[in-house]
């Protein structure tokens, strides 16, 4: 059994990790930390876990993290990097669901996250945990940077086109919408029911923190400089993320539908829908699946890719479990064969 602990178990990604790991046949949950809720039974805060998780929240220094096989950080940005070096020295593998290790350049990280990086020497070693690109590296990793939700949906949508050099990499557009759970489990006026319901808005148009992460990931698969316009939106739903992606075709492909089907045919958590399909966020709610469809309106030079995920599963906790499975040599889908919830 893999001994696993979660640091920061009271947020939405933390409870999603708890839900998935509690049902994982190869995992023993040993600790869930929270300074503010220490001593409270996990099931008292999250009643859906009653009968499945018998642990109480504890202080991080009392969690026995050094005795774990893997520690997940479901914490705000800037926390994991404070503790990761000591855990790695103790032989513990680390999966960070925040952004501490996603960017390779510490100066870029400091620019977007407003503080110097605490352990820049680990940025080179950290493996970006998008299995569809870095599976072999994840299998050998001590430290995995779990991708963000927007970057997961956007990269999976664009990758086949960039890998084959079929589009103008300098003029990519990602128009993406996320449910309010993407903002985290905190008190915020903007995510109150009375504020977010029956409304729709863009935010962070001048620059979102996920922009450099997406650009970095796309740049890895093309020799041409990537130019990306990324605009996120807040939608009045709890879960779900929909990315509408636009790219200018510069070369002809025999069959774009076949290109996507071939690229992802062996990927257990990417589902390329039949031609002319329109994926819905509800079709992936609660599941670790990215669903894609490809369109070429009026047969023109603009290709439109639709990409949907559950921002808390494939966009966060589910992908983290997927990475854990790879790191420990398990079947990749163990604990993740979840059918989406409808209605």
Positions annotated as catalytic residues are: 149
Among residues 209, 205, 200, 206, the alpha carbon closest in space to that of 234 is found at 200
Does residue 46 come out as left (phi exceeding 0), alpha (psi in the -120 to 50 range) or beta?
Answer: beta
Count Cβ atoms below 10 Å from residue 287 Cβ, excluding itself.
21
> H or E stretch including 69?
none
CA distances from 221 to 5, 160, 175, 217, 252 (A): 34, 9, 21, 8, 19
CA distances from 117 to 38, 154, 188 (A): 28, 26, 27
Among residues 198, 175, 294, 293, the alpha carbon closest in space to that of 244 is found at 175
**Is the CB of residue 101 less than 8 Å from the CB of residue 145?**
yes
| CA atoms within a 13 Å half-sphere pointing along the CA-CB vector of 230 | 22
> H or E stretch including 73?
strand 70-73
């Amino acid at each position: 059994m893999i001994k696993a602990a979660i640091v920061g178990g009271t947020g939405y990604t933390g409870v999603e990790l708890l839900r998935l790991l509690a049902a994982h046949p190869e995992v023993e949950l040993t600790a869930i930390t929270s300074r503010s809720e220490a001593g409270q039974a996990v099931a008292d805060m999250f009643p859906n876990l009653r009968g499945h998780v018998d642990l109480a929240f504890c202080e991080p220094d009392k969690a026995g993290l050094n005795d774990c096989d893997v520690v997940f950080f479901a914490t705000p940005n800037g926390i994991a990097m404070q503790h990761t070096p000591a855990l790695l020295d103790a032989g513990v593998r680390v999966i960070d669901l925040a952004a501490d290790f996603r960017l390779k350049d510490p100066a870029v990280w400091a620019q977007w996250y407003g503080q110097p990086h605490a352990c820049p020497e680990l940025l080179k070693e950290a493996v970006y945990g998008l299995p569809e690109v870095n599976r072999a590296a994840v299998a050998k990793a001590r430290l995995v940077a779990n991708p963000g939700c927007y970057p997961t949906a956007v990269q999976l949508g664009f990758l086949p086109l960039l890998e084959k050099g079929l589009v103008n990499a300098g003029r990519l557009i990602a128009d993406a919408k996320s449910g309010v759970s993407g903002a985290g489990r905190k008190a915020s006026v903007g995510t109150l029911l009375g504020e977010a319901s029956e409304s729709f808005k863009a935010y962070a148009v001048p620059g979102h923190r996920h922009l450099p992460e997406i650009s970095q990931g796309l740049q890895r698969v093309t020799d041409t400089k990537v130019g990306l316009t990324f605009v996120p939106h807040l939608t009045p739903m709890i879960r779900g993320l929909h990315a509408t992606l636009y790219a200018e075709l510069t070369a002809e492909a025999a069959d774009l539908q076949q290109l996507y089907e071939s690229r992802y045919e062996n990927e257990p958590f990417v589902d390329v829908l039949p031609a002319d399909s329109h994926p819905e966020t509800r079709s992936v709610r609660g599941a670790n699946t990215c669903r894609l469809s490809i369109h070429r309106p009026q047969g023109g030079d603009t290709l439109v890719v639709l990409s949907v995920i559950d921002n808390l599963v494939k966009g966060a906790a589910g992908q983290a479990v997927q990475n854990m499975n790879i790191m420990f040599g398990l079947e990749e889908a163990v604990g993740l064969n979840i059918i989406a919830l409808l209605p």
